Amino acid sequence: MAGRPWWAANELLAFLLEVVALGCLFWWGFTLADALALQVLLGSAPLAAAVVLWTLFAAPRARFRPPLAGVLAVKALVLGGGALALYGVGHPAAALVLGVAVVANTALAETFRRRPTAA
């Protein structure tokens, strides 16, 4: 990482975007009910589904390694779902910023991944 500061910064941003998306999914589910127990259940369900999908298919040490299109589809579902969840709780501008950040971050990650490392 020491020789590739932009790559490292983009990877840190990717992690932060993932955490934010997961938080937004919980927040959205939490707002769907009035009773606290139901709020926690409805908040936890999309969060758990996203974590399982991410862990199985999109994490750096994923259990299964689908082709790039599959990984990108899972990332779009989870990270895009986070942006849509943010929109769903009434923050359209923040949802747009999150969506743009996710697309830019993913595009940079793919660019860095395909570029040969400097010797």
Please report, as a single letter, which amino acid is at residue 38: L
Q: Do 21 and 98 touch, CB atoms closer than 8 A?
A: yes
Report the candidate in 86, 12, 81, 88 with the shortest Cα–Cα distance to residue 49: 81
User: What confidence category does residue 4 fall into, taking pLDDT thresholds of 50, 70 and 90?
Assistant: confident
Tokens 């589904």 sit on residue = 49
User: What confidence category does residue 109 fall into, taking pLDDT thresholds of 50, 70 and 90?
Assistant: confident
The pLDDT of residue 119 is above 70: no
Give the containing element (helix H, strand E) for 63: none
Q: Look at residue 45 in the predicted model and tell me its pLDDT.
A: 97
Tokens 């990877």 sit on residue = 11
Q: Look at residue 3 in the predicted model and tell me its pLDDT.
A: 59
pTM for the complete prediction? 0.88
| 70-107 per-residue burial string, b: 16 or more CB within 10 A, e: under 16 | ebeebbebbbbbbbbbbbbeebeeebeebbebbeebbe
Q: What is the mean pLDDT of residues 34-61?
A: 95
